[in-house]
Amino acid sequence: MEEKIKELRAAIEQASADVTDKARLSDFWQKYLSKNGEVAGLTKSLRDVPKEDRPAVGKTINEFKQWAEAQYQALSEQVEKAALEARNAAETVDITMPAKIRQTGSLHPITLVKNEIIDVFAGMGFEIYEGPEIEDDDHNFTRLNVPKNHPARDMQDTFYVADDIVLRTQTSGGQIRVMDMEKPPIKVLAPGRVFRSDSDATHSPMFHQMEGLVVDKGITLCDLQGMLDKFVQALFGADVKTRLRPSYFPFTEPSVEVDVSCFECGGKGCPLCKHTGWIEVLGAGVVHHSVLENCGIDPNVYSGFAFGIGIERIAMLKYGINNIGLMFENDLRFLKQFED
Ligand code: DAH
One CATH from 3.30.70.2860, 3.40.640.10, 3.30.310.160, 3.30.930.10 for 110-338: 3.30.930.10
Residue nearest to atom 4 of ligand 1 (CA): 170
The C-alpha atoms of residue 150 and residue 191 are separated, in whole angstroms, by 26
* C-alpha 14 to ligand 1 mean position (Å): 95
For 219-252, what is the HEC assignment? Answer: CCHHHHHHHHHHHHHHHHCCCCCEEEEEEEECCE
For the chain, what are the domain ranges?
2-90, 110-338
Whole-model pTM: value is: 0.72
Residue nearest to atom 2 of ligand 1 (CA): 308
Residue nearest to atom 3 of ligand 1 (CA): 170
Write out the E strands in the chain.
127-128, 134-136, 160-162, 165-167, 186-195, 206-216, 242-249, 252-261, 278-287, 303-310
User: What integer pLDDT is reported at residue 304 of this predicted model?
Assistant: 98
Cβ count near 228 (within 10 Å): 22
Identify whether the C-beta of residue 128 lies closer than 8 Å to the C-beta of residue 189.
yes
C-alpha pair distances (Å), 287 with each of 145, 279, 284: 10, 24, 9
* Contacts by 229-234, CB closer than 8 A, 24 or more apart: 230/120, 230/124, 231/117, 231/120, 231/121, 232/260, 232/281, 234/116, 234/119, 234/120
Average pLDDT, rounded, for the chain:
93
* C-alpha 284 to ligand 1 mean position (Å): 6
The reply, when asked if residue 52 is annotated as ligand binding, is no
User: What integer pLDDT is reported at residue 262 of this predicted model?
Assistant: 93
Ligand 1 pocket at CB < 6 A: 170, 172, 211, 249, 252, 283-285, 306-308
User: What integer pLDDT is reported at residue 251 of this predicted model?
Assistant: 97
The C-alpha atoms of residue 196 and residue 71 are separated, in whole angstroms, by 82
Residue nearest to atom 5 of ligand 1 (CA): 308
The C-alpha atoms of residue 238 and residue 236 are separated, in whole angstroms, by 7
Question: For the segment 154-173, what is each residue's pLDDT rounded down to a tens digit?
Answer: 777 899 999 899 999 999 99
Identify whether the C-beta of residue 228 lies closer than 8 Å to the C-beta of residue 257.
no
User: What integer pLDDT is reported at residue 63 of this predicted model?
Assistant: 93
* Best residue among 135, 210, 213, 249 to mutate for probing ligand 1, ranked by most atoms within 8 Å of CB: 249
> Which residue numbers in the chain have pLDDT < 50?
none
User: What integer pLDDT is reported at residue 313 of this predicted model?
Assistant: 93
Q: Which atom of ligand 1 is nearest to the CA of 172?
A: 1
Residue 262: strand, helix, or coil: coil
* Best residue among 172, 291, 303 to mutate for probing ligand 1, ranked by most atoms within 8 Å of CB: 172
Cβ count near 61 (within 10 Å): 21
Residue nearest to atom 13 of ligand 1 (CA): 284
Identify whether the C-beta of residue 127 lies closer than 8 Å to the C-beta of residue 279.
no
* C-alpha 170 to ligand 1 mean position (Å): 7
* Best residue among 251, 258, 286, 305 to mutate for probing ligand 1, ranked by most atoms within 8 Å of CB: 251
